Chains A and B, each alone.
Chain A
């Protein structure tokens, strides 16, 4: 199973759930991440954060944690938490394909962030399931599009 095709309605709902999570828990930012490392949606104040890189690293960290879980035969590592001096991070499993990540001030209680993240996870999973049901195995129609400059996608400077 792969991530389903997302349409505007899906993105609105994902953004709404993330915004809600950020507002209710005084979080700085929240992201939805595909387990291959792609950033799907983001909300909040990123300031100097590079959200694309954050997403790739979060997916890697979560995958490594799952690897450790399998070594010790533990089927239930659903989240990764890192406490910092200024900011803390919580990465939580959503479904087979996606994760949600919350960046929050270190003084905010992680218990409360976890509680609200759990509720967000259920809503996000429902939306991904709805997208999957809408168009199972759906793919975008690239045949309608023209490749631009197909000889050279990336040019060397100088």
Chain B
């Protein structure tokens, strides 16, 4: 869970980009890294543990800072997981301590089965960590909207956003940086609201 250091007035939050292989998770981080406005020194390096052919092997990691809560320095750590099926153990390792999830789905018709399987895999992996998708804020991103064989977003909603509580979803063309910041800002807002609501609940109980 998020680290709150009262001594240094620091909040550290972990967001994981999850989804099927070649869906655009790494591209999201690359675009955030290239385009995010930050005060000098507040944007870290993008680290990719990838194979020689640029496929994510372990994770990509991007630390960035934002003044999200007054008086608190808020440090965000963005991670991706490897999408390929064989790297499931690695995905479980990266999910440890996750605060918010961006599920990056591939909009191409022939990738729908992969999307659904990856989403099921996310729920299963959270369970093994004793976490629950009903309690962790997440958003859906339908990437590759620019491709001619992209499925309608309504169809993707039907396949992926069909749980009891629907979550925000965004169409995106990550390589052109379209939808990337909208997705990141939404997951950030959702998880900070969750922290605030939890504090209020604790206050009411006391």
Enumerate chain A interface residues (CB-CB to B < 8 A): 2-3, 5-8, 10-11, 34-40, 50, 52-53, 56-57, 60, 63-64, 67, 139-143, 145-158
A6 vs B4: C-alpha distance when bound (angstroms) = 8
Q: From residue 70 to 94 of chain B, which have CB atoms closer than 8 A to chain A?
A: 70-72, 75, 77, 79, 89-90, 93-94
Q: A143-B199, A153-B68 are in contact. Are A37 and B97 (CB under 8 A)?
A: yes
Q: Does B66 contact A (CB under 8 A)?
A: yes
Indicate which residue in B5, B44, B67, B72 contacts A52 across the interface (CB closer than 8 Å): B44
Asked if residues A38 and B3 are in contact (CB atoms below 8 Å), the reply is yes
CA distance A152 to B64 in the complex (A): 14
In contact, A156 and B35 (Cβ under 8 angstroms): yes
Residue-wise, chain B 3-17 has the 8 Å CB interface mask toward A (1 for contact) of 111111001101000
- Is B172 an interface residue when CB atoms closer than 8 A count as contact? no
Determine the interface band of chain B, counting residues with CB < 8 A from chain A.
35 or more
In whole Å, how far is A8's beta carbon from the nearest beta carbon of chain B? 4
Query: Which residues in A have their C-beta under 8 angstroms from that of B66?
Result: 153-154
Query: Ordered nearest first, which 8 A-B pairs have the shortest CB separation?
Result: A36-B97, A11-B7, A63-B93, A8-B7, A155-B37, A142-B196, A142-B199, A38-B12
Q: How far is the CB of A100 from chain B (nearest CB, A)?
A: 16
Question: Which chain B residues border A8 with CB–CB below 8 Å?
Answer: 6-7
Q: Provide the residues of chain B in CB contact with A53, threshold 8 Å.
A: 44-45, 47, 61, 63
B residues near A150, Cβ cutoff 8 Å? 189, 192
Q: Is the CB of A35 within 8 A of B32?
A: no
- Alpha-carbon distance A126/B6, docked complex (angstroms): 19
Residues of B with C-beta under 8 A to A36: 1, 3, 14, 96-98
With A52-B44, A56-B77, A146-B70 as given contacts, are A7 and B96 in contact (CB-CB < 8 Å)?
A: no
Q: Please report whether the interface of chain B is mostly helix, strand, loop or mixed according to DSSP.
A: mixed
Residue pairs across A and B with Cβ atoms less than 8 A apart, 10 shown, are: A7-B7, A36-B1, A37-B77, A60-B49, A60-B58, A139-B4, A142-B196, A143-B203, A153-B66, A154-B184
Tell me which of A2, A57, A140, A151 contacts B6 (CB under 8 A).
Answer: A140
**For the complex, what is the distance from the CA of A151 to the CA of B181, rounded to whole Å?**
11
Q: Assess A50 versus B70: contact at CB under 8 Å? Given A3-B3, A5-B6, A154-B32.
A: no
A152→B97 CA distance, assembly (Å): 24
Given A145-B71, A156-B37, verify A37-B181 contact (CB < 8 Å): no
The residue that A148 contacts in the complex, of B12, B68, B93, B96, with Cβ under 8 A, is: B68
Residues of B within 8 A of A52 (CB): 44, 63, 75, 77
Q: Taking the complex as formed, is B188 at the interface, i.e. its CB lies under 8 A from any CB of chain A?
A: yes
Tell me if A155 and B69 are in contact (CB < 8 A): no
Contact residues in A for B49 (Cβ distance below 8 Å):
57, 60
B6 proximity list for chain A (CB < 8 A): 5-8, 140
Q: A64-B93, A141-B203, A142-B196 in contact; A154/B64 too (CB < 8 A)?
A: yes
Taking the nearest CB of chain B, how far is it from the CB of A60, in angstroms?
A: 6
B126 located at the interface, meaning its Cβ lies under 8 Å from any Cβ of chain A in the complex? no
Q: How far, in angstroms, from A47 to B121 measured CA to CA in the complex?
A: 41
Query: Contacts of B64 on A, CB cut-off 8 Å?
Result: 154
B69 to A142, Cβ gap below 8 A?
yes
Q: Is B18 an interface residue (CB 8 A)?
A: no
Query: Which one of B89, B184, B200 has the highest number of Cβ atoms from chain A below 10 Å of its Cβ?
Result: B89
